[in-house]
Structure 1
Amino acid sequence: MEKEQVAFTIILHAGDARSHALEALKYAREKNFIAAEESIAQAKKQLIAAHQIQTELLQSEARGEKQEINLLLIHAQDHLMTAILAKDLIEEMILMFKE
């Protein structure tokens, strides 16, 4: 996979994960906790997919295969980290709504 395609694939999965997490928050505000948990589960699946790609890049680097770092890849990493943080915070917020 070309570097641009790798970056765009990470962005795609991270964006989907963030969307599912925000959807979960909406469901939690509506007290629909089953749907909220389903959306969080979908967010986690998307994050796993993005993280697997990131891990492949890291393993490649560890094998001595130098990675070309470009702005697009940095942007993809930003999207991934933001999506992970959103998912984590929204999971905590769902617990607060349940209380």
Structure 2
Amino acid sequence: METIIMELIVNSGNARSRAMEAIRIAKNGNIEKAREKLEECETELGKAHSVQTNLIHNEAKGNKTEVDLLLVHAQDHLMNAMTIKDMAKEFVDMYEKFSK
């Protein structure tokens, strides 16, 4: 279970990092590269979401998952990454609009 949790944390952290990179890159005027970083973010979030979905499917099948602080922490990382991704998309769009 710890390996699964660490996958959630690592993939979510990677996604958050790519989203923040996208903002910085867009701020410097390279919108195309920023959008590439957002795609990388989506890929990492997809990996994390897949792990989360497997946990949910197992739970639905009756295989209960012990919820501990580490799992809660991993879920927090995922939700934070998703929020940052949404904000990063808005920032990239805004920087693109203002650069025209």
Do the two structures share a fold, i.e. TM-score over 0.5? Answer: yes
Identify which of 22, 38, 41 aligns with 2:39.
41
SS at match of 2:63: coil
Of the three residues 12, 15, 18, the one matched with 2:13 is 15
TM-score where L is the length of structure 1: 0.96
Partner residue in 2 for 1:62: 60
Q: Distance in 2 between matches of 1:89 and 1:24?
A: 10
1:81 is the counterpart of 2:79: yes
Which whole-Å deviations, capped at 9, do the CAs of 1:46-91 have from their partners, x for residues lacking one? Answer: 0000000000000000011111111000000000000000000110
Gaps of 5+ in 1: none
Aligned position for 1:72: 70
- Report SS of the residue matched to 2:65: coil
Letter in 2 for 1:13: N
* Structure 2 residue aligned with 1:96: 94
**Deviation (angstroms), 1:93:** 1.0
Separation in 2, partners of 1:52, 1:36: 24
Structure 1 consecutive aligned stretches of length 4 or more whose deviation exceeds 3 Å: none
Identity of aligned residues (%): 40
Which deviations, in whole Å up to 9, do the C-alpha atoms of 1:6-25 show, x marking residues without a partner? 11110000000001000000
Work out the number of aligned pairs and report it: 97
